[in-house]
């Protein structure tokens, strides 16, 4: 296999203008900022290679009905530039996908980034050449590029997971995955729609599809918690508050474990009476959003504490959903609250009160096959459908990296190093892969944090590291194997100090992909703590990394 690839590579003429100081894979939040840092601040020659025909990363692909951000808009943006902050105004509490794309295009235009982004360019392979100390990158079209530094800004949730259900190829209707949504939309009017999956995506899409579909059947394998988003337009007063107080807001975002613009209350569930607790949960429910999690400090650490939040939400579900059997199915949740990524919604549970919406429990009666005309479950029951929507998530965190043939020193393949699960140092570097950096890679807070905060921290750390190397005349940086082993231990310990691993089917563990090794992937020790660790490592001359001239 390696020989064939070398042969292909030899046939391609290496154009001199395809040699760069740095190549960045991906033009989402991470890749755009990394380009700005390396090109405009460090003066490197840089190119971004982006598979999509537009910038935006996850927001380029995820255009399904109801797709909007779960972080509040004033915290879902870059914070490094006062000029960007003062010129952009969000219109809603949670921005919808077109507004986020407009924002990222505004940033890219403002910083003149687009001239260094190659769209429609999917990276197939990246091989490190020890002799020249360069990464040789091959695109799917067979183009060759090379760079000293390779930055994978590929996102955590960019490899769509379409379950391998027998018969899908025979289905006569249309089917879609939410993460690869057609840009000209899908017409649901008059159609019988089946939606598989009740994670954040399915929960956002259900009420919107229900508004136009003739009938919507939601196939639920694991019942899920959800808290109302209470989305609304932002008032001019709030917009002015954000502009004036951004330094304070940013300080809050940088001080918390999850990078959001709210503080986690410093009280235990058991510091208050049952009545007070109920009142606090009710107030949090009325306020809405991910902040519900911040009502008490011990919700994610103590199962008994968590049970109180879980019971509150289950009671809400039963009070909203009128049909008793449906309400019980929705409230039959088998894991602690927020042990899976907690969704927020706009009238998800209410949608089941509509005459045209039905819920099917595919834990009890699993999907067995897809026929020409619909979905069949194990009991033999057939659900006739015109459209199937797979809201079935992603091969998260490792998927976007492993679908590229990445090879380090001596042809070492990343997929072999990660055969039993991802191993790296600080989520940033893998031993054996010099000068390769992964933005929000597994082993970093990433998906457990408000993403732009995690992204800014990584991008800035990587740029500082490269600046340090250039200042010292150093050519290579590589995680030491012992630092990597230690960090993998810390990632496991941080997860085990929480209730997160108790959701056995979570994508945090890789459990949603058949055959994927089970390993808790993100770092659960908190963003603020992680930032201190990374700063400390840099201050100690990049402790745990081998640097050479
Ligand atoms: O994916 P998921 P998602 N048969 O993996 C089910 C981010 N996000 O796209 O739990 C039947 O969470 C699966 O069932 P189970 C956010 O980080 C952000 O919803 O594996 N069902 C589950 O119910 C989020 O966590 C935002 O038993 C099958 C669902 O499909 C992440 O993306 C919005 C199945 C998948 O849920 C992923 O969310 C949306 C099968 N064969 C998402 N295979 C914003 O902030 C899977 N399922 C905007």
State residue 295 phi and psi, 5-degree precision: -65, -35
Given pLDDT bands bounded at 50, 70 and 90, which one contains residue 13? Answer: very low
**pLDDT at residue 2, rounded to an integer:** 33
Using an 8 Å Cβ cutoff, are 4 and 130 in contact?
no
Number of H helices, E strands in the chain: 17, 20
| CB of 444 sitting under 6 A from ligand 1 | no
pLDDT in tens, 433-451: 999 999 999 999 999 999 9
Collapsed DSSP state (helix, strand, coil) of residue 380: coil
Residue by residue, DSSP assigns 101-167 as HHHHHHHHHHTT-GGGEESS--EEEEEEETTTTEEEEEETT--EEEEEEEEE---SS-SB-----TT
Q: What percent of the chain lies above the pLDDT cut of 90?
A: 97
Does the beta carbon of 343 sit less than 6 angstroms from any atom of ligand 1? no
Report the 10 Å Cβ neighbour count for 163. 17
The label of the residue with tokens 């899920």 reads 224
- Within 8 A by CB and 6+ apart from 422, the residues are 397, 398, 441, 442, 443, 519, 521
- The H or E element spanning position 345 is strand 344-345
In the block, tokens 């999917």 appear at 122
Q: Give the residue among 31, 43, 183, 50 at the shortest CA–CA distance from 108.
A: 31
What tens digit of pLDDT does each residue of 119-134 get?
999 999 999 999 999 9
Report whether pLDDT(8) > 80. no
Rounded CA-CA distance 171/180 in Å is 18
With tokens 């009710």, the residue in question is 282
Contact 28, 56 (CB under 8 A): yes
* Distance from C-alpha of 500 to C-alpha of 465, rounded to nearest angstrom: 32
Q: What mean pLDDT do residues 356-360 have?
A: 98
Q: What is the DSSP string of 272-322?
A: S-HHHHHHHHHHHHHH-SGGGGGGSTTTTT-HHHHHHHHHHHHHHHHHH--
pLDDT category at 548 given cuts 50, 70, 90 is: very high
* CA proximity to 89, closest of 243, 260, 261, 245: 243
**Mean pLDDT on 461-465:** 98
Residue-wise pLDDT tens digits, 242-267: 999 999 999 999 999 999 999 999 99
Which pair of structure tokens corresponds to residue 161? 């997971």
pLDDT digits (tens, 9 = 90+) for 375-389: 999 999 999 999 999
pLDDT at 89 over 70: yes
The per-residue pLDDT for 1 is 30
Cα(370) to centroid of ligand 1, in Å?
A: 20
Tell me the per-residue pLDDT of 153-198, one tens digit each, with 9 for 90 and over.
999 999 999 999 999 999 999 999 999 999 999 999 999 999 999 9
pLDDT of residue 6 exceeding 70, the answer is no
DSSP letters of 31-48?
Answer: HHHHHIIIIIIS---EEE
Q: Which residue from 338, 393, 510 has its CB within 8 A of the most atoms of ligand 1, so it is best to mutate?
A: 393
Residue 370 in contact with residue 170, Cβ under 8 Å?
yes
Per residue in 406-424, pLDDT (tens digit) is: 999 999 999 999 999 999 9
d(CA 196, CA 54): 28
513 near 506, Cβ under 8 Å? Answer: no
Q: Residue 431: CB within 6 Å of ligand 1?
A: no
Is the beta carbon of 157 within 6 A of some atom in ligand 1?
A: yes
Residues 502-527, mean pLDDT to the nearest whole number = 97
DSSP state of 337: T
What's the distance, CA 496 to chain centroid? 21
Length of the chain: 549
Q: How far does the centroid of ligand 1 lie from the alpha carbon of residue 200, in Å?
A: 6
Rg (C-alpha) for the chain, rounded Å, is 24
For 76-112, letters b (16+ CB in 10 Å) and e give bbbbeeeebbeebebeebbbbbebbbebbbebbeebe
Q: What is the pLDDT of residue 17?
A: 81
Summarize the confidence of residues 516-542 as an average pLDDT: 98
Of 92, 207, 221, the residue with max ligand 1 atoms within 8 A of its CB, to mutate for a pocket test, comes to 221
Q: In this predicted model, what pLDDT tens digit does every residue of 360-374 receive, in sequence order?
A: 999 999 999 999 999
Instruction: List % helix, strand, coil for the chain (3-state, nearest 5).
Output: 40, 20, 40
Of all residues in the chain, the percent with pLDDT exceeding 70 is 97
Q: Is 414 in the pocket of ligand 1 (CB under 6 A)?
A: no
Whether 260 lines ligand 1, by a CB cut-off of 6 Å, is: no
How far is 330 from 311, CA to CA, in rounded Å?
Answer: 13
CA–centroid distance, 442 to ligand 1, in Å, is 18
Q: Is 393 in the pocket of ligand 1 (CB under 6 A)?
A: yes
Q: Is 215:428 a contact under the CB 8 Å cutoff?
A: no
Q: How confident is the model at residue 16, as a pLDDT?
A: 62
pLDDT at 12 over 90: no
pTM: 0.96
Q: Which atom of ligand 1 is nearest to the CA of 362?
A: 11
CA nearest to 338, candidates 457, 398, 258: 258
Mean pLDDT of the chain: 96
């Amino acid at each position: 296999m390696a020989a064939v690839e070398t042969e292909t590579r030899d046939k391609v003429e290496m154009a001199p203008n395809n040699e760069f100081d740095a190549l960045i894979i991906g033009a989402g939040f991470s890749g755009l900022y990394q380009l700005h840092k390396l090109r405009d601040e460090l003066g490197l020659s840089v190119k971004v290679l982006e598979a999509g025909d537009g910038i935006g990363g996850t927001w380029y692909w995820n255009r399904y009905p109801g797709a909007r951000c779960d972080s509040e808009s004033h915290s879902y943006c870059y914070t490094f530039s006062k000029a960007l902050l003062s010129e952009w105004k969000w219109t809603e509490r949670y921005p919808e996908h077109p507004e986020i794309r407009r924002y990222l295009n505004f940033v890219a235009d403002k910083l003149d980034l687009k001239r260094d982004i190659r769209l429609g360019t999917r990276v197939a392979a990246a091989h490190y050449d020890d002799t020249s100390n360069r990464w040789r990158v091959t695109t799917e079209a067979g183009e060759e590029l090379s760079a000293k530094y390779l930055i994978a800004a590929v996102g955590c949730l960019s490899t769509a997971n379409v379950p391998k259900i027998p018969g899908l190829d025979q289905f006569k209707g249309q089917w879609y995955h939410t993460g690869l949504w057609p840009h000209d939309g899908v017409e649901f009017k008059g159609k019988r729609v089946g939606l598989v999956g009740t994670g954040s995506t399915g929960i956002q899409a259900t009420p919107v599809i229900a508004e136009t579909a003739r009938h919507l059947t939601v196939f639920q394998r694991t019942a899920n918690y959800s808290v109302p988003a209470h989305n609304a337009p932002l008032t001019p007063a709030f917009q002015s508050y954000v502009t004036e107080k951004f330094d304070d807001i940013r300080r809050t975002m940088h001080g918390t474990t999850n990078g959001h613009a709210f503080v986690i209350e410093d009280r235990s569930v058991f510091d208050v009476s049952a009545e007070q607790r109920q009142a606090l949960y009710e107030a949090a429910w009325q306020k809405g959003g991910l902040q519900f999690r911040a009502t008490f400090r011990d919700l994610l650490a103590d199962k008994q504490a968590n049970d109180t939040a879980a019971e509150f939400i289950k009671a809400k579900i039963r009070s909203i959903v009128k049909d008793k059997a449906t309400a019980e199915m929705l409230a039959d949740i088998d894991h602690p609250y927020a042990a899976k990524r907690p969704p927020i919604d706009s009238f998800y549970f209410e949608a089941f009160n509509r005459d045209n919406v039905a819920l099917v429990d595919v834990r009890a009666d699993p999907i067995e096959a897809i026929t020409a005309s619909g979905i069949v479950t194990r009991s033999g029951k057939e659900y006739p459908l015109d459209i199937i929507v797979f809201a079935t998530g992603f091969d998260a965190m490792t998927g976007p990296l492993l679908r590229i043939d990445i090879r380090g020193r001596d042809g070492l393949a990343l997929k072999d190093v990660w055969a039993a699960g991802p191993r790296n140092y600080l989520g940033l570097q893998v031993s054996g892969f010099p000068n390769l950096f992964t933005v929000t890679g597994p082993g970093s807070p990433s998906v457990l944090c408000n993403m732009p905060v995690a992204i800014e921290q990584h991008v800035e750390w990587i740029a500082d590291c490269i600046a340090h190397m250039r200042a010292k005349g150093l050519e290579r940086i590589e995680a030491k194997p012992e630092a990597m082993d230690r960090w993998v231990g810390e990632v496991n310990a941080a997860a085990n100090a929480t209730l997160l691993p108790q959701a056995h089917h979570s994508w945090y563990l890789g459990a949603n992909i058949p055959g994927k090794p089970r390993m808790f992937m993100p770092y659960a020790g908190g963003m603020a703590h992680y930032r201190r660790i990374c700063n400390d490592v840099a201050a100690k001359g990049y402790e745990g990394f081998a640097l050479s001239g």
